[in-house]
Amino acid sequence: VTEDQHEELTLDRIQAAAGRLAGVAHRTPLLTSRTLDAIVGAPVLLKAEMFQRGGSFKFRGAYNRLSQLTAAERASGVVAYSSGNHGGAVALAAKLLGIRALVVSPATGSAAKLAAIEEYGAELHRYDPATQRREEVAAALAEAQGLTTIRPFDDYEVMAGQGTAGLELSAQAGQGGPELVLLPVGGGGLAAGVSTAVKALHPAADVIGVEPAGADDTRRSLRAGHRVTIEDPATIADGLRSQQPGLHTFPINAKLLADIVTVDEESIVAAMRFALTRLKIVVEPSGAVPLAALLSGAVRAAGRRTVVVLSGGNVDPVVLASLLQGRAVSDLYTETPSAR
């Protein structure tokens, strides 16, 4: 990653990404709920990225990155490593651009998410997570076949694309813009992109990242002042099981985030249930994490115009059914959905 150390993430770059995404990505709505406002004691606006193409914000970054490949890179194709939304987003973006895509996925991955990747026309390359590291599998394939690796977050064009959600919510929040923005933090791409856009447009707004308590690598890293690795992130929020913040995302988030808070697993499930039963929307565990911070009281928003980024809605129907039935959270996240 040495070659792009001089790069930086700017509002201009995010605006350029928005131009590439215009007419391709959805401008997702901000949803509101009187019930939620009453609970929180503030006007809450929910950025509904489950309505984004591919079902999550990931499409924004993947398409922005892929649309800038050279003709030679397009002709050779791309490789991504992901068992989830990034894989689906790269597959969809590649399909729209007529680029061959190969997605490296664990053999134990969610059957539903892997099926979505194949439905978008990407080739799946399975590996055994017990004996292989996905980065190495992808690197070997890239080397052998001349593919460009599309990293899930630690890439300025991916961050810029993801930051377009921040441009949109800033404009949609109405006069004065957002006063508080809550978003989930995994590798930190969404947080870096959105916080760059929001802080450039509304410097007084606070952007707060939320992590599952069992996958709080960014919170620990911010406290330590450098990137810390956690060995075994454990959470149902499968999109947030990062072991450490990104090399490029971390300094941006260290500078721009007002705070990182954590939520427990029960709060995440409660937020998903609230979304289903009261808001009538499907939010995946990772997407429910910032809503959990509001509902559990981990973040106090009283009186502040608050935007919550619901980052996606791709959840295995079997997992969704389990949590609706009130199964223990520990059963949910140790379960391998593909084994059903």
State the catalytic residues: 58, 311
325 binds its own copies (CB under 8 A): yes
Instruction: Report the distance separating Cα 149 and Cα 144, nearest Å.
Output: 12
C-alpha neighbours within 13 Å on the C-beta side of residue 74:
15
Distances (CA, A) of 239 to 128, 144, 220, 265, 306: 19, 29, 18, 14, 23
CB of 285 to its own copies, least distance (A): 14
Torsional sign, CA 108, 329, 49, 308: negative
| 297: contact with its own copies by CB under 8 A | no
Residue 201: how many CB atoms within 10 A of its CB? 17
337 is a contact residue toward its own copies (CB under 8 A) = no
Q: Which is nearer to its own copies, 221 or 338 (CB)?
A: 338
Segment interacting with its own copies (CB under 8 A) among 146-154, 168-176, 259-267, 313-321:
313-321
State the minimum distance, in angstroms, from the CB of residue 257 to its own copies. Answer: 27
When the beta carbons of 46 and 147 are compared against its own copies, the nearer one is: 46
Is residue 320 close enough to count as binding its own copies by CB under 8 A?
A: yes
- Interface residue with its own copies, options 70, 71, 277, 302 (CB under 8 A): 277
Task: Write out the H or E segment, with its range, that includes residue 246.
Answer: none
- Which of the ranges 175-183, 199-207, 208-216, 275-283 carries the binding residues for its own copies, by CB under 8 A? 275-283
CB of 323 to its own copies, least distance (A): 8
Binding mask 10-49 vs its own copies (x if CB under 8 A, - otherwise)?
-------------------x-x--x---------------
Range in contact with its own copies (rule: CB under 8 A) among 173-181, 192-200, 208-216, 279-287:
279-287
User: CB of 54 within 8 A of CB of 312?
Assistant: no
Q: How far apart are CA 280 and CA 127, in angstroms?
A: 37
Residue 263 near residue 212 (C-beta atoms within 8 A): yes
The interface with its own copies within residues 46-75 (CB under 8 A) comprises 50-51, 53, 55
Instruction: Give the x-and-dash track for 214-253 against its own copies (CB under 8 A).
Output: ----------------------------------------
273 binds its own copies (CB under 8 A): yes
Distance CA 103, CA 122 (A): 7
Q: Name the helix (H) or strand (E) containing 24.
A: none
Secondary structure (3-state) at 78:
strand
- Give the separation between CA 61 and CA 165, rounded to whole angstroms: 10
Q: Residue 146's CB: how many other CB atoms inside 10 A?
A: 12
Q: How many residues belong to the site for its own copies (CB under 8 A)?
A: 23
| Residue 255 vs 278, nearer CB to its own copies | 278
| Distance between CA atoms of residues 247 and 155, nearest Å | 9
Between 98 and 203, CB nearer to its own copies:
98
Residue from 251, 291, 268, 236 nearest 33 by CA: 291
| Interaction site with its own copies (CB under 8 A) | 29, 31, 34, 50-51, 53, 55, 112, 273, 276-277, 280-283, 313, 317-318, 320-322, 324-325
